[in-house]
Structure 1
Amino acid sequence: MTTDSRVPQFNFGVSVDISTNTWVIYDENDTPTTKPVTVTVDNTQIIYTLRPNTESLIFVDPSIKHGPTNDLSYGISPNNQVLTVVDSDADSGDIDLYLVVATSSDPTKHYTSPDPQIKNRPTE
């Protein structure tokens, strides 16, 4: 999945300690955040990048629950370090998007994030 500079983008860094399942999501100012992403423009891109780590973590398919799940599409970079979510913003509602990682040595064992919620607020 490629990024398009003509649509809004939210960029986040992701740090994970799998020994305690502790997740920290950093906003574009490199500040830890727990705020949901509010989407008001069609095809907004929400980009999560794993920070350098010693566990050799990789993104695997995220878990999407509740809300208009058909609003979201996603892609994972070839090196599995970047997850790009595209929100069509077709419907109003809150979507529970859970980031999921695994170690490259055992991609079948998954570690799931708390919910970085996406709020769809289409404009009229």
Structure 2
Amino acid sequence: MKRDLAKITGLAVFTLALTLSGCYYDKFEEEDPSDQVSFTADIQPIFNAYCTSCHPVLVANPDLSSGNSYSSITNGIYVVPNDIDASTLYQRLLGNPSIMPPSGSLSASEINSVKSWIEQGALDN
């Protein structure tokens, strides 16, 4: 009986010690605010430089002009927050099914900005 009580007590102490000490890998890493992609500062300038000569001038949807673009693309078709595979905008930048803009691919940095913005939830920030 004493041995069983000692085992149970030892196990309880061990479990408590594990619970209180935690694990390095259990700690949440805080996101560096400088890694946050801003729609206004990072994404809209890409649209202004490469897309607004056609959207909405020649092609009405999506309207990528300042003030209209966010609501025009965050409809679950062009951009699906947190899902680059389902986001038509991102897929078109990769050339799936055809490259946008038609004048040629954006830089890898610009494409990565769009990718990160979508992966970060496609916020209107």
> Larger % of helix: which?
2
Asked if Structure 1 and Structure 2 have the same fold, meaning a TM-score greater than 0.5 normalized by the shorter chain, the answer is no
User: Which has the higher relative contact order, 1 or 2, with Cα contacts under 8 A spaced 6 or more apart?
Assistant: 1
In proportion to residue count, which structure has more strand? 1
Q: Into which bin does the TM-score normalised by the smaller protein fall?
A: under 0.3
